Structure 1
């Protein structure tokens, strides 16, 4: 049995682990340098207990214009816009998948990636959200970094792994970790220790560019 002293020290360590290294501004919108964004992320152990992808309802048609969230992202991110017919059927068009620097013609072969995957969001705090909050997260069109049109190959390579386990093409790693940290702060999601260490190490080698954060409503 652990001694009372050891239990007390362990409890203190857990409190320190859960606290962010730097407080984030209280404002709903703010801009801070990349390394401060990373340092501000709350740290906590992950917990995937009870995870079910169906707990995050998607793809919805929030504005009832006939286009699902998937179609809205494809339309927004097209390099050359697709033709839209009927109930938002897309054809033609051209996209750039920045994860792997690949251009694709036509929407087939593209996945819409949750930059911070649904399972990762669950692990990092979304398990305590309401169904409505999880639906809002899964269909987040309020921040263009949240959902990304990428090749099916790169999306499936990434799967539900975090930055400690998967990164895109080296040329865009700094872009990726800035977006990752921004979405985590937007939704008040934590990072685990390995994720925090990887983000910190990568950010140290990236330009300390300003990152704009808009908190989710």
Structure 2
């Protein structure tokens, strides 16, 4: 746990960060975004870290299913159920869902990932170690959200406090920056939320 005078930005990879979420937001460096040079192909997706043959997308679907799906030897999912907090809607067909990066790949590039090594970007794109990083949502919602951040894409009202907290957690985990408008939008959301303690392990 960080001491009272330490900041999340000062933590090292592998360190736990435990802070009130408003303090964690204030600890994030503020910097204008820069999308120069961004291409989605700079983030390699689809790794199978546990070597069971499942794509990262299916790993997320398996982890997030309230009702476990049936998994065949080719890692095809059938049956099962899922809930998308983006839309406050339940689903029973895996094919209806996409896997969204809560903080989009482009957004991570804008706020620091442009300087990372390719292996770090791959790790970010396939982050299964923090369940907040990747989320199963309807394909329509994922495409509508696209590369937007909390300034332009608020989710379902019932999810906004969790969304803001999780956004800050992922930015803290990966030592990313926020821009002034993003910081202001997150602050506004948190002003209507109960006090929450953020817990996250630094990835870099």
TM-score (norm 1): 0.87
Match of 2:71 among 42, 64, 84: 84
Give 2:86's aligned residue. Answer: 99
Q: CA deviation at 1:164?
A: 0.7
Contact 2:11 2:202 in 1 (8 A): no
Q: CA deviation at 1:87?
A: 1.8
Q: Distance in 2 between matches of 1:53 and 1:197?
A: 27
Tell me the matched-pair count.
Answer: 196
Whether 2:141 is the aligned partner of 1:154: answer yes
Give 2:121's aligned residue. Answer: 134
Give 2:7's aligned residue. Answer: 23
Q: CA deviation at 1:99?
A: 0.8
Match of 1:168 among 134, 155, 170: 155
For the pair shown, the structure with the greater C-alpha radius of gyration is: 1
Q: CA deviation at 1:201?
A: 1.6
Q: Distance in 2 between matches of 1:156 and 1:207?
A: 30
5+ residue gaps, structure 1, are 1-21
Give 1:3's aligned residue. Answer: none
> Runs of 4+ in structure 1 displaced over 2 angstroms?
22-27
5+ residue gaps, structure 2, are 1-5
Q: Distance in 2 between matches of 1:47 and 1:204?
A: 28
Q: Distance in 2 between matches of 1:124 and 1:208?
A: 26
Contact 1:39 1:200 in 2 (8 A): no
Whether 2:36 is the aligned partner of 1:52: answer no
Give 1:145's aligned residue. Answer: 132
C-alpha RMSD of the superposition: 1.3
Whether 2:185 is the aligned partner of 1:198: answer yes
TM-score (norm 2): 0.93
Q: CA deviation at 1:63?
A: 2.0
Report SS of the residue matched to 2:32.
coil
Q: Distance in 1 between matches of 2:77 and 2:24?
A: 37
Q: CA deviation at 1:196?
A: 0.7
Give 1:113's aligned residue. Answer: 100
Contact 1:167 1:173 in 2 (8 A): yes
1:120-171 Cα shifts (integer Å, max 9, x gaps): 0000000000100000000000100000011112111111001111110011
Whether 2:30 is the aligned partner of 1:43: answer yes
Contact 1:162 1:195 in 2 (8 A): yes
Q: Distance in 2 between matches of 1:192 and 1:26?
A: 21
